[in-house]
Amino acid sequence: MSTRLGGWVLGIELRRVHRAAGFSQRGLAQELGWDASKLSRLLSGLRVVTEAELLLVLWVCGVKTARERERFRSLAARADQHRWWPGFEDSSLSFRVSGVLEDQARAILCYSPNVVPALLRTARYGQALPVAEGATPGLFNRFRPPQCVFLVGERALTHPGPMPSIMRGQARHLAALAQRVAIRVVPEALAFGWEGPFRILDVPDLGRTVQVDQPRSTLFLHDKESVDAYAALARELMGIALSEERSRGLLREIAGDALVRQ
């Protein structure tokens, strides 16, 4: 049985509660009287949990309120799904899932037409946006960072933004990052009519997953048809994007102009 996105998300939440309860994975398996591989497969989304097993795990981990038990039942009911949408009411779970995907990814392709991607933002730029988005700190400074490609819309770089000083700092930050991270600018004239922002993350055990950000929520897609469709879209965007060298030149130009305007 392959890993399903819904089961993987349930595993994220079960890991969170067992760690909050002070259990290691091995310790929890011992407390449950389970074989370690049984719990591992459940937490990895490789095994569908029964209601009795779920309630036992929650009880041992101290999750005893009816509201929380019902939330986990809802997650378990969707454990076999390859598409997953937490809905408006659970945006905190969207952030957690996105963060774990990002933290575990071996490769990330990100397309962001109108704003600078979260992983490339300065703190001031991120704080100025109407909706805050977290990003894994120090991702590019790891011993083995994920292979990242950022396709950034020209409008995200040239929009005047909330304050000139914020945009100046952001432009300089991108120009410096482009020396070690693949950033390719998608010209605004060529990107007219394209889809909104998305990310394709390649995660060990889970495989490729698409993250489509929407107002106040996020859609996660793990089915082959959707992933292949977004991969094809990414290839088309790569075809119209400036090369890394030309993009670095444009970023230096934008940063230089920003410095002149100070």
Pair 118, 182 in one domain? yes
Q: How far is CA 103 from CA 16, 96, 202, 244, in A?
A: 15, 10, 11, 25
Choose among 254, 150, 137, 128: nearest CA to 200.
150
Q: How far is CA 183 from CA 46, 136, 168, 205, 238, in A?
A: 35, 18, 18, 27, 11
Give bridge partners of residue 203 from the DSSP assignment.
Answer: 207
CATH number of the domain that residue 145 is part of: 3.30.870
Pair 151, 255 in one domain? yes
81 near 38, Cβ under 8 Å?
no
Give residue 142's pLDDT: 82
pLDDT at residue 98 tops 70 = yes
| Counted domains in the chain | 2
Pair 123, 182 in one domain? yes
Residue 260: pLDDT band (50, 70, 90) is very low
Q: How far is CA 140 from CA 52, 105, 135, in A?
A: 42, 12, 11
Pair 107, 236 in one domain? yes
Choose among 23, 94, 18: nearest CA to 63.
18
Pair 133, 233 in one domain? yes
237 near 192, Cβ under 8 Å?
no
- Summarize pLDDT for 161-189 with one digit per residue, the tens: 767 788 888 888 999 999 989 999 999 87
CATH number of the domain that residue 9 is part of: 1.10.260
Query: Whole-angstrom Cα distance, residue 54 to residue 14?
Result: 9
**Residue 140 included in any domain:** yes
Average pLDDT over residues 55-78: 92
Average pLDDT over residues 10-39: 94
Choose among 11, 197, 207, 194: nearest CA to 96.
11
Q: Average pLDDT of the chain?
A: 88
Tell me which amino acid residue 150 is. F
Give me Rg for the CA atoms of the chain. 21
The greatest distance separating any two alpha carbons of the chain, rounded to the nearest whole angstrom, comes to: 67
Pairing of strands 207-214, 217-221: antiparallel
Pair 220, 249 in one domain? yes
Q: Which residues contact 235 (CB under 8 A, 6 or more apart)?
A: none
pLDDT at residue 58 tops 60 = yes
134 near 128, Cβ under 8 Å?
no
Pair 104, 198 in one domain? yes
Tell me which amino acid residue 174 is. L
**Residue 93 included in any domain:** no
Structural domain that includes position 110: 100-260
Pair 145, 47 in one domain? no
- Summarize pLDDT for 188-232 with one digit per residue, the tens: 877 766 678 999 999 998 899 999 987 777 899 999 999 999 999
Helix axes 244-260, 164-177, angle to 10 degrees: 150
The CA-CA-CA angle for residues 98, 68, 212, to 5°, reads 20
**Residue 218 included in any domain:** yes
Computed from CA positions of residues 121, 127, 129, 131, in that sequence, does the dihedral angle turn out positive or negative?
positive
Pair 27, 115 in one domain? no
